Structure 1
Amino acid sequence: MAELEENLASMSSIAAAKDKALSKLEKDKKGLEEQLLFSEVGLQEAVMVATDEAKISAARTILQARIKMAREVGDPNFDRSAWDLASWEQTLLKFSGDEEQEPAVEKAVGAKTSGAKGVDGRAGGGDAAGGDALTVGDKGC
């Protein structure tokens, strides 16, 4: 009988140690879950900031290029024949990776290089400021 009581006491001390270890693990788990949540929120904020900065940088670069082109086109000594639009559009097509756009771009390239008049009535298409379908609005920038 003494042996049975000894085994029972040993088992209850093991059960108490197990309960203590489980409660410590649950507490640690809650702490780690909170850290994970804060890390995810911080990461999302960092991604949003980086995305906004990239949008602003891209918009700034596009506007600077448009201003430069508008100034160059306004210069009577400027030779636009140095612009290799067909090559630029082919390179852009390679970057986009959209095969459905290929015929449309090739058709547009053919129209621009064949001397067809653009939207503004001038040969080569486009507007004097180098404008295109790209617009920079106030959407997130």
Structure 2
Amino acid sequence: MNSKSGIIMKILSIFESGLFIKILSVFITGLWIAGLLLADIYIIILAVVFLIALSTILYIHRDNLKEIFQKDSNAIVEDERTQLINEKAATMTLGVLIAVMIYAGIVIIALRNNYPQFLQAGYTLFLASILCFILYFTSRAYYTHKY
């Protein structure tokens, strides 16, 4: 009986490894793409079932996710300097993306008399950039309050 529980624990530890989770997420992405390209609802349903299973595994081990993904590597993943650089780069990228979307949306809307077929795209870009602003300021307020 003891050897059976040891085997079961080894099988469960495979499902909790970072490599398995990475492979499963690539497989799910492949199923999504195949289902959409082939227009097969059964492949998409299979992808949803696997996604629910993966989400369950990640939710159960949500406190250990950093350890799960870092124990597969032998190198140091990141330090405080790397985190600061990534945060600054992400903030700059978000700002530039929002600015380009706003300007492109305004230009497309301004050219509505010459190119009326692109009017919907202009409004979509403009509204998406406003939504990004709202999301950024909401998350900034949340994390400022949290920390």
TM-score by structure 1 length? 0.31
Bigger Rg, which one:
1
**Higher helix content, 1 or 2:** 2
Structure with greater contact order relative to length (CA < 8 Å, sep ≥ 6): 1
